[in-house]
């Protein structure tokens, strides 16, 4: 029994790590929909690809645009703006999530204070619960999910339900996983907060590409949106499907990748996968453990870039940032160095540009390694605003996406 319990807990944390590889991806200075978040003197705003302010730095926090809206914080409360900086949803929330399927999860204030609920002790320990609501893009309350949200969890504490929702990943096709506090099992809810798949799983991830990893003491498998097993629970650990493949681990602690029929595409032969999922057809792997060098494997299991790096990112727009002698450069998908390592920091390419820093400051380069917005030009442009906060040095925003105090 102890072994089964340990396996379940271990599986939960693997699901947490692999199912949400982009758990707190927020604004990091990359361009998203033509805008990038920049901070000056601890105030945040948005620039265009000319390095000029589109929305001046007037916010305490700011995040990338998602579904046409961006989360920003001012006066200790969160709201949503459009690309012109207009308030679409006035700041009145203690915590928020990005919109997913047209809905966002919020902690809400009423009469100047957020609703505080009682403290419950369950299998997840003592947690301080607050009120949680789903809103639409007009800021209208669509569903009151009951009392409780603490970064990750929602808990309606009425006598009839006592359910818990893990918000990581949000709603997909109108569905999200949900936890029953009374039964200590996971199921699936719709946007009304009602179960559409009854809670029968000890561990569960959110849906990705139509399937969700789920399981009990016998192992982890995959279910469809009706709760039916599509791939029987036989894995010790299992991640989300990304680009048609999922990273799974067998009892022998070997990792491999399966397709949506459960067939092995890449046999379980790796001791450790450095990256849990494929990106642009390639995945980072360490064949000799987590202290060995990193290479890249394709979807046929072939090492297409030999292990030669101790620090390297996934590929984005055909290039991957790597570190050599404490400096960062970029390689292409053949492993060829296309931008020599000369930067102290380097971000991923997005919309043709990457934010980097050298001895002269922070700016943006194109895929040839030439400055698209040099540090000097960026700093000059950013001082040309009406806001008193437009002083100091520009920096990319490095905050997360699920925000709050």
List, for residues 371-392, the tens digit of each pLDDT value.
999 999 998 888 887 766 565 5
**According to the model, what pLDDT value does residue 145 have?**
66
Q: Are 397 and 28 in contact (CB under 8 A)?
A: yes
Q: Are 288 and 275 in contact (CB under 8 A)?
A: no
What is the C-alpha to C-alpha distance for residues 333 and 215, in angstroms, rounded to an integer? 36
List Cβ neighbours of 20 (8 Å cut-off, separation of 6 or more). Answer: 168, 169, 205, 206, 240
Q: What tens digit of pLDDT does each residue of 47-102 get?
A: 999 999 999 999 999 999 988 999 999 998 999 999 999 999 999 888 788 887 78
CA distances for 356 relative to 92, 234, 379, 393, 396, angstroms: 35, 44, 14, 14, 9
What is the C-alpha to C-alpha distance for residues 307 and 322, in angstroms, rounded to an integer? 12
Structure tokens given for 349: 């390419």
Q: Are 315 and 279 in contact (CB under 8 A)?
A: yes
3-state secondary structure of 90: strand
Element (H, E) at 11: helix 2-19
pLDDT above 80 for 27: no
Element (H, E) at 113: strand 113-114
- Lowest average pLDDT, out of 38-42, 57-61, 295-299, 341-345, goes to 38-42
Structure pTM?
A: 0.76
**According to the model, what pLDDT value does residue 41 have?**
82
207 or 161: which leads in pLDDT: 207
């Amino acid at each position: 029994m102890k072994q089964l319990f340990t396996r379940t807990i271990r599986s939960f944390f693997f699901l947490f790590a692999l199912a949400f590889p982009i758990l707190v991806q927020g604004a990091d200075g990359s361009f998203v929909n033509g805008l990038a978040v920049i901070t000056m003197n601890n105030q945040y705003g948005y620039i265009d690809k000319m390095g000029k302010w589109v929305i001046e730095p007037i916010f305490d926090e700011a995040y990338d645009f998602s579904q046409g809206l961006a989360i920003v914080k001012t006066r200790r409360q969160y709201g949503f703006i459009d690309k012109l900086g207009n308030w679409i949803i006035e700041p009145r929330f203690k915590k928020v999530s990005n919109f997913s399927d047209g809905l966002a999860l919020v902690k809400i204030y009423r009469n100047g204070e957020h609703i505080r609920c009682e403290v419950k002790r369950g299998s997840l320990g003592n947690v301080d619960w607050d009120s949680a609501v789903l809103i639409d893009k007009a800021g209208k309350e669509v569903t009151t999910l009951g009392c409780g949200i603490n970064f990750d969890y929602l808990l309606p504490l009425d006598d009839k339900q006592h359910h818990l929702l893990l918000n990581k990943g949000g709603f997909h096709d109108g569905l999200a996983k949900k936890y029953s506090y009374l039964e200590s099992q996971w199921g699936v809810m719709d946007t009304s907060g009602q179960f559409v798949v009854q809670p029968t799983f000890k561990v569960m991830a959110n849906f990705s590409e139509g399937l969700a990893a789920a399981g009990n003491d016998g192992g982890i498998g995959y279910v469809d949106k009706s709760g039916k097993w599509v791939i029987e629970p036989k894995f010790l650990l299992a991640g989300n499907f990304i680009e048609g493949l999922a990273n799974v681990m067998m009892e022998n602690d070997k990792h491999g990748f399966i397709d949506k029929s459960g067939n092995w595409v890449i046999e379980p032969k790796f001791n450790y996968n450095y990256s849990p999922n494929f990106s642009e057809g390639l995945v980072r792997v360490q064949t000799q453990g987590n202290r060995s060098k990193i290479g890249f494997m394709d979807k046929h299991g072939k090492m297409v870039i030999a292990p030669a790096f101790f620090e390297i990112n996934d590929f984005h727009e055909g290039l991957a940032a790597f570190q050599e002698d404490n400096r960062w450069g970029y390689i292409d998908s053949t492993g060829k160095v296309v931008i020599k390592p000369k930067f102290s920091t380097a971000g991923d390419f997005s919309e043709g540009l990457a934010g980097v820093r050298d001895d002269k400051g922070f700016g943006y380069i194109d895929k040839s390694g030439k400055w698209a917005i040099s540090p000097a030009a960026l700093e000059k442009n950013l001082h040309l605003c009406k806001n008193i906060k437009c002083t100091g040095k520009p920096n990319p925003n490095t905050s997360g996406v699920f925000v709050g105090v």
